[in-house]
Structures are given as structure tokens and as C-alpha cells.
Structure 1
Amino acid sequence: MIRVLLADDEAMIRAGVAAILAADQEIEVVAEAGDGRAAVELTRANRPDVVLLDIRMPDLDGLAAAEEIRRILPDTGVLMLTTFGEDAYIERALGLGASGFLLKAGDPRELLAGVHAVADGAAFLSPKVAHRVITQLSGDRLGRAAAARDRVAVLTPREREVLTLLADGLSNADIAGRIHVVEGTVKAHVSTILTRLAVRNRVQAAITAYEAGLV
């Protein structure tokens, strides 16, 4: 069972998202919060697998809450859920260690897919967000590509293979099955990859793989 904490300051939005999640028998909403501070405290108390955070909330906004949650519970996946698709929000959310970014206007199936992906240790960007990220990367593509290739060059062949599969959106379990190793070995590879690439999470690692031309 995937345990989810849902935080949004609009009760109707929370009810709608909770109803979508309830349609999946593998997902359980263990707590709901109406502001960022409560989201942090409830996350600390309930230790969910995934936290769904709205960007704009009172007391403590979703970005600050995401940073705090990642600090106190680094193994908890954070999915940002918002009506706002500005590049600045996307960049900040991913930079703070969020595992994914969803738009409220997106397909409900994206919400369920995102929760499952993040719970499995993968990253998830809604198609519209992915398009924005790729468009942004294209602005200085040559410079970014050269820098990314230099960073990827320090990886071993096996680590580059894992990075490529990670960038394709595979979870640790899926990668383990693909390269015929145990999941713990994949987790160790991913940890080493993040350290060597000097990135905070799988999304940033996937972006580096894209820039380097691995995918």
C-alpha cells in the first residue's frame, strides 16, 4: 500500500484529489493538511511514502514545506501539485529535491502514475512540465551538453547504464530486473550516481542524462 499525505489549502481541491487517489486500491491517503506547516508536522508524524504538496499555501508555502520534508525525511517522495506552470516554480521545486511536478489541470491518470512512480523510487514530470523543462534546456544546449558530458564521464559503464534507465523513468525494481541485479545494488548505484553528478535527486540526474545525450 502506498501511503500518501495530501496538502492543499482549498478543501474542494483536496476532496477531488483524494477521490482520484481513492480509486486506486494500492493508494491510501493517511492525512490531509491545509497549510505547509501542518503538512510538515503531519509528514513527521505519519511518515508517508509520498507527499503531494500544493505550491501556494498559507503559513509555509509548498516549496518551503518540500525543502523541510526533504531535510527531515529524505526517503519520502515529494510531488508538487499546482495550477501554476511557470518555469520559476518548476526550477525551484526540482532544485529543492522534489521527485516530480504535476499540474492540477492535467489528466487524473497522471496523478496516479506520478504517485506510483515516486513511491517506486522513480521521478515523474507531467508531459506539459517535461516539455517546459526540455524547452528550457534547449536554450543553451551546446554549453549544457558539454558540461553534462564531462560530468557523466566520471561514471563507470554500469553507472551510465543505470543512469540511462533511470532517465527513461524506470524504478529501482525495474532497473534491477533489466540489468539482472538485486534492487539493493541499484540503490547503491543510484546513490553513487547522484553524488558523482553533484545532483540532489533522480529528476536532476535524468536531466543531466538528457543533456549528455544518453537518452
Structure 2
Amino acid sequence: MKALIVDGEEIYRISMKEVITAAANFDEVIEAGSEHDFLSMTASHDLFDLVVLQPATLHDDGGNCLKLVNRLYPNAKVISIGKDTHYTSNQSNFRYTTMPRTASVQEMVKAIRSSLKLPLDSYNSPCASSNMGRPKVSNLLNTEFNRFKSHVTNEHSENVKTVDLKRLSYRQRQILAMAADGLPNKEIAARLNIAEGTVKAHMHSIFKVLGVSNRTQAVIRYGASGGNNSLPQDKSPAWQQMTVA
């Protein structure tokens, strides 16, 4: 089976796609976010079993899209989403159904399955009623986030090389530790009682030793090389633990 979602709101389309997928075994669920997208899509798709449309999100084009759906896909089951509508269905052929925008996942799944003349038995049991047809959206989001985080972490670890911080002078390590604590050059200079220009000069020398081109990269390299682990149990900044030899 193939389904089409025509809706101007991307977030609603994504949610509806999950609901449709949970409601029945669709081979393909296609999205159109505007009348232009819809017209372009019709050139390559001549058959849909289900069309879910929210005309209001398409503004003046909503009515036209609904008419085109009825004309181009006369055999498709149509579910129209409206702001103030209530659930209705033509019991003779289930061709056209209207649903309120505030419908629950359970109600939407029922409407989809009813439209397609699919059995509702598995969705009517008391033990399943609370989660009927509810897609595991939170699980999907967590999975995608963890996949993204893992990718970034792996990519980051491949690009960040550790260095021996002993290659830096004492003063350079002190300045870098303060930079890692978020202090700007001006404040570093004031706390060390040196000129701001001297701090900048040290920072440029640090960049060369660490093989980086900016302050952010230097701080990252500092952390990757164990600089952040130099913090003592009292959690005071690392630069405060350094005393002039």
C-alpha cells in the first residue's frame, strides 16, 4: 500500500507519518508540503491507497489540493484534518473521513484502519487501548540522537590528537588552563599581572606547539591531552593550582 500526506507543517507531517506507519503496513509514505510539491509528486505517482490532507495549512491552496486529490485519485481513501471538525465517516464506502486536528493517536489509527477496511480487533482490547497504534516516537528520537552523538564523538576523537603538555612552558600551560576555564585574554592578563599583548603572544605560541589554528581548538586539544584531569578534589580551576617555580 502507498500513502500520501499533504500538509504545510513539517512537524505535523513527521508525526502523521509515524501514525500512518503504525496504523497499517504501508510500503511507502510520501509527503508534500505545498501545492507545488503535490503537483510535482503527482507526475510520478498515479495511485495512492490513502491520502491524509490538512487543507488549512496550505492556506488558499488547500481547497484546490483537496479537489485535485478527488480528481486524480478517485479510489484513494481520504482523511481530511480540520481545526474544528469532528470524526465522521461515510459508512457505505469509507471514501471520505474528516478528523479534528486534536484527534489522539488512537482515534487517528482507528480512522485510518476503518477507511482501509482493516480489522480493528487488535486495537479494541482493554490491555492495548492505552497504547493503541502509538508509535514509539520517543524511542525513535532517542535512537537518532544517540546515533548522531556517536557519529560526532567518533569523528571528533579521530580528529583530535593528544599532545604532551610538557612541551609547553609553565607560563603557556598556565595561560592555556585559564583559557580553558573561559577567561578572556584581558582577564588572564590582569590576573597574571602581564600585558594583554603578552597573553596574545603566548597564545600564538601555544597554537604552534599544539598544531591548531584557534583558541577553541587549543582548549579542545588541552582537554584531550588530560589538562582537565589536573583539577584537584576541591574543583578549583587548574590555573589556580600552578605556582611560579
TM-score range, shorter chain: 0.3 to 0.5
* TM-score, reference length from structure 1: 0.44
Bigger radius of gyration among the two: 2
Higher relative contact order, structure no. (Cα contacts within 8 Å, ≥ 6 residues apart): 1
* TM-score, reference length from structure 2: 0.39
